[in-house]
Amino acid sequence: MNESIITVRYAKAFFSLAKEKELLDTFKTDIETVMDVCNQSVDFILFLESPIVKTSKKIKLFSEIFSNSVHELTLKFINLIAENKRELLIPRVCRNFLDLSRKDMGIKTAVMTIASELSEETVEKVKQILEKELDSTVELTGKINPEIIGGMILRIEDKQFDASLATQLKKVKAALLETEI
């Protein structure tokens, strides 16, 4: 079965449980905690991917890592994923759960790629403009990519707006190459 379908099913099941138990905020915080561990620890990811470590050992370690920082149902959910030999998918399940949570709360995600660092004040202004234009709460994250030279690339959920200098230069170059002298 397609891993994408599997991760979405796990995320939807946990999301349904969160809504049913009225623990969405708690579970969202828990899943963010799990994602932080996944994003910050290469060793944890290697541990998840290891076919040598037995499932029982993985479940024991999950309890040691998360028992004091997440709700018991969240821990049971992570253990269920491991029992089903899907622990490798935990980061993607978490990502899908957070996407479902944002969608439910009416939050749109945006990524702004720029050539160099911007001040917090400028980022906040961009966020306010986006919230006004989209009539929604926006979670704005920034990325720095010096290769775009200037301008910005703004990705809002599945739409991308490319106003980078690098792209504009490529368009000018293409137009110049097409014209006859």
The reply to whether 121 and 167 lie within a common domain is: yes
Query: Does residue 43 have a pLDDT over 80?
Result: yes
CA distance 97 to 91: 10
Q: Of 103, 122, 137, which marks where a domain is finished?
A: 103
Query: Does residue 142 have a pLDDT over 90?
Result: no
Query: Does residue 118 have a pLDDT over 90?
Result: no
Mean pLDDT of 163-179: 89
- Find the CATH number of the domain harbouring 17: 1.10.520.20
pTM for the model stands at 0.75
Q: Output the average pLDDT for the chain.
A: 90
Query: Does residue 180 have a pLDDT over 90?
Result: no
Instruction: Give the percent of the chain with pLDDT over 90.
Output: 55
Structure tokens at 126: 């961009």
Structure tokens at 10: 């796990």
Mean pLDDT of 167-175: 90
Residue 134: burial class (beta carbons within 10 Å; 0-12, 13-18, 19+): middle
pLDDT range class, residue 181, cuts 50, 70, 90: low
Tens digits of residue pLDDT in 82-106 = 999 998 999 999 999 999 999 998 8
Residue identified by tokens 């910005």 is: 152
Query: Does residue 1 have a pLDDT over 70?
Result: no
Residue identified by tokens 């994923």 is: 81
pLDDT range class, residue 154, cuts 50, 70, 90: very high
Q: Of 57, 74, 103, which marks where a domain is finished?
A: 103
Q: Which residues contact 58 (CB under 8 A, 6 or more apart)?
A: 47, 48, 82, 87
CA 104 vs. chain centroid, Å, equals 15
Structural domain total, the chain: 2
The reply to whether 94 and 153 lie within a common domain is: no
CA 75 vs. chain centroid, Å, equals 20
- Find the CATH number of the domain harbouring 167: 3.40.30
CB of 92 closer than 8 Å to CB of 120:
no
